[in-house]
């Protein structure tokens, strides 16, 4: 079974630029999460999707962050415009219906200069 | 709100046992989890325990849960250099979400 795929693995941008990350969850996993992991900290939830609907986006900075999962499969997370404090690893995770086992992708390391 | 706390560093000698501790606040959590993160990688699910259990053993891993004190521990027997990583404790799902601790960096000395 293929794991959670994310791209790109690394991205360096200047502040005020835009960036987008892509995630393809494990096949059949209805629930998808985006997390932000700042260096030295645990992952912090940004947004949770159930199929193509948003379940929880209470911690998403909506003035600059957006995410979508249009067909209920893969998802994109966008930051526009980026700030220095957005430098972090962005992790995608997925979970199948009725399961409590969350599986993570390798992450995208974003550096904002 | 929900909070998960861990000590940040642990150093052990190869062959010894490692014990990583965690405290959490949300008594409604269904499961408590341990994840491992190696450099440049995502989080790998190691093991988890249902909240009405006291102990779970999985090969070299032993999880102990004290629900009264909201304390969770992970014991790694016969620790090897390949066990060097950051270990995250997590609780959930509360609602549908998971809350992670700050991670414990385990260093295994030869």
pLDDT digits (tens, 9 = 90+) for A34-67: 999 999 899 999 999 999 899 999 999 999 999 9
Q: What integer pLDDT is reported at residue A30 of this predicted model?
A: 92
Instruction: Tell me: cis bond preceding A8? Omega within 30 of 0 counts.
Output: yes
Q: What integer pLDDT is reported at residue A28 of this predicted model?
A: 92
Strand pairing category for A108-112 and A10-13: parallel
Residue B100 to residue A107, Cβ atoms within 8 A: no
**What is the rounded CA–CA span in Å between residue B69 and residue B43?**
26
Per residue of chain B (110 residues), what is the pLDDT tens digit?
Answer: 568 999 999 999 999 999 999 999 887 778 999 999 998 888 999 999 998 899 999 999 999 999 999 999 999 999 999 999 999 999 987 656 889 999 999 999 98
What pLDDT band is residue A78 in, cutting at 50, 70 and 90?
A: very high
Cα distances (angstroms) measured from residue B98 to each of A14, A29, A40, A54, B93: 32, 16, 18, 16, 5
Q: What integer pLDDT is reported at residue B1 of this predicted model?
A: 57
Q: In chain A, pLDDT over 90 holds for what percent of residues?
A: 88
**What is the rounded CA–CA span in Å between residue A52 and residue A86?**
25
Decide if A87 touches B, using CB distance below 8 A: no
Averaged pLDDT score across all residues of chain A: 94
Lowest model confidence (mean pLDDT) among A29-33, A54-58, A71-75, B91-95: B91-95
**What is the rounded CA–CA span in Å between residue B4 and residue B24?**
4
Decide if A96 touches B, using CB distance below 8 A: no
Residue A74 confidence (pLDDT) above 60: yes
Residue A102 to residue B98, Cβ atoms within 8 A: yes
Decide if A98 touches B, using CB distance below 8 A: no
Span A58-80, average pLDDT:
95
CA dihedral B63, B41, A5, B101 (to 10 degrees): 50
Residue whose token pair is 């009405």: B52
Residue A100 to residue B93, Cβ atoms within 8 A: yes
What pLDDT band is residue A23 in, cutting at 50, 70 and 90?
A: very high
Q: In chain A, pLDDT over 70 holds for what percent of residues?
A: 99
Residue A1 confidence (pLDDT) above 80: no
């Amino acid at each position: 079974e293929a794991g959670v795929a994310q791209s790109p693995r690394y991205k360096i941008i200047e502040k005020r630029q835009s960036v987008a990350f892509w995630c393809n969850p494990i096949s059949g996993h209805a629930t998808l999460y985006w997390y932000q992991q700042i260096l030295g900290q645990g992952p912090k939830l940004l947004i949770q999707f159930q199929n193509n609907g948003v379940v929880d986006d209470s911690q998403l900075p909506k003035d600059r962050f957006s995410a979508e999962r249009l067909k209920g499969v893969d998802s994109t997370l966008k930051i526009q415009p980026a700030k220095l404090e957005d430098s972090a690893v962005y992790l995608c995770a997925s979970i199948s219906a009725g399961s409590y086992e969350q599986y993570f992708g390798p992450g995208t390391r974003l550096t904002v200069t | 709100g929900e909070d998960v706390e861990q000590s940040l560093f642990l150093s052990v000698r190869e062959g010894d046992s490692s014990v990583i501790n965690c405290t959490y606040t949300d008594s409604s959590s269904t499961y408590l989890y341990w994840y491992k993160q190696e450099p440049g990688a995502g989080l790998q699910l190691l093991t988890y325990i249902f909240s009405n259990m006291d102990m779970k053993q999985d090969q070299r891993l032993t999880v102990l849960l004290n629900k009264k004190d909201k304390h969770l521990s992970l014991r790694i027997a016969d620790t090897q250099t390949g066990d060097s990583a950051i270990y995250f404790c997590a609780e959930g799902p509360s609602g549908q979400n998971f809350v992670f601790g700050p991670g414990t960096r385990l260093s295994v000395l030869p």
